[in-house]
Structure 1
Amino acid sequence: MQPFIPDTDTENWHDFEVGSRREIIALLRAISDKKQEVRVAARDGGAVYTTSILDVDGDAGTVLIDRPLDPDYERALLSGDVSFETSLDKIRIFFGTEQLQASLHDGKPALKMAVPASLIRLQRREYYRMATPLTNPVRVTIPMPPELGGGVAVFPLADISVGGIAILDNRFVLGDTMGRDYAECRIELPDLGNITTGLQIRNSHDITLLNNNPNRRLGCQFIDMGRGAAAAVQRYITKLERERNARIAGLG
């Protein structure tokens, strides 16, 4: 069963699907150990409540969750497909099951399900937005439409996330039209090569740099990004995080 993602703004959520049984069990155990709240919803929308994961048994392939006190909720959840949403280290986690069963945990009522075959680990744009280097900046090449002069233009990135990028347009050539799409944009990721993706402008802010020069910061969402490109972006973010952590450790 595919997890149900009711409100995500990421069309390519399948790029973040986890299919490794070992990794799924590790993630669910981490959620349980940190006592993260888990939102449970019947697929038909008839029951929604907050619970927690009580236990994950990798050998038996089962997950135990806390049982709702309301018997009507319990009946609704036992009647069919159920979706779960939680977070771990600011990353949204989605998974689902086609069947919950009444069970016990340490002698107390619980609900049992099979370890899901897959889950979604979705890093949303507001999380893990990493600043890109100021020296030797990452650059994006954007094909310009005829009404903006045609040709291509190159812009430095201000930051990058799994959902998009922020670019600096100091020549104010892109305009600030919300929702405007730019296709076949090329981002040069150091040590990882070039990726191609569509970009959609989602927000715009005029700023003044430390040297008093005006600039425009455009927040852009990735659109029509392939699986390989999304994986390369994630690897680059991981690389930036490791470099930042190394610098912090060195200062310490």
Structure 2
Amino acid sequence: MLRKLHHLFSAPITRVSERNSLLPSTKVDNGERANGTDFGLRNPLEIETFLRDLATRQDFLAVDYGNGQIVTRVLQIDTKSNTFIFDYGAFRTGNRAVLAANKLRFEASPDGVKVEFTTGRPREISRDGAVAFEVELPQVLFRVQRREYFRNSHDRSVFLQRDAARGKALSS
């Protein structure tokens, strides 16, 4: 038990700024993270389920088209055609730029967990009398949990004494 406690409190706590991340955002062409650490979902069923959850919760996504971005929501997942539909943005110029882009980068933060994925060029479709975008499902969807604080070394005797005192109080 003491070895487990020692392990928990032996790593350093370091403040990380919002701009610094555990994983670089640079990706290699095959979709892997540049540093070799990979938190990617590749199973199409998992990707569909995750996107369907975003649609159900009506979470917002930022879609970067190269020279700017729009804010949108996932509207529908079509498992038969291996596509998903997302809503038009608020501004006509941004929507036109999305249609012209060869590659789109999506980003969301459901429950504080950053999600990133890329797709190819979307198509404009009509859905329920409104205009929307349709695009192929991503091949990889990255979920990145970022912490603001990391463990730091402490005077372990303080924690051991505290835990020992708690144990005595619980057993009494």
TM > 0.5 fold call: yes
Classify 1:57/1:8 alpha carbon distance in 2 versus 1 (closer, same or farther; 3 Å).
farther
Higher fraction of helix: 2
Structure-2 residue corresponding to 1:33: 56
Q: CA deviation at 1:69?
A: 3.6
User: Quick one: percent identity of the two aligned structures?
Assistant: 25
Equivalent residues in 2 for 1:1-252, closer than 5 Å: 9-11=21-23, 13=33, 14-42=37-65, 44=66, 46-80=67-101, 81-126=103-148, 165-170=150-155
Which consecutive segments of 4 or more residues in structure 1 shift more than 6 A? 208-212
Structure ranking higher on relative contact order (CA contacts 8 Å, 6+ apart): 2
Structure-1 residue corresponding to 2:8: none
Q: CA deviation at 1:92?
A: 1.1
Unaligned 5+ residue runs, structure 1?
Answer: 1-6, 127-163, 172-207, 213-252
What is the TM-score when the length of structure 2 is the normalising length?
0.67
Unaligned 5+ residue runs, structure 2?
Answer: 1-18, 25-32, 163-172
Classify 1:71/1:63 alpha carbon distance in 2 versus 1 (closer, same or farther; 3 Å).
same
Q: Cα RMSD (Å) of the superposition?
A: 2.4
The one-letter code matched in structure 2 to 1:10 is L
The SS at the match of 2:96 is helix
What is the TM-score when the length of structure 1 is the normalising length?
0.47
Maintained 8 Å contact 2:70/2:95: no
Q: Structure 2: how far apart are the matches of 1:105 and 1:25?
A: 19
Higher fraction of strand: 1
Q: Structure 2: how far apart are the matches of 1:110 and 1:95?
A: 19
Q: How many residues align?
A: 131
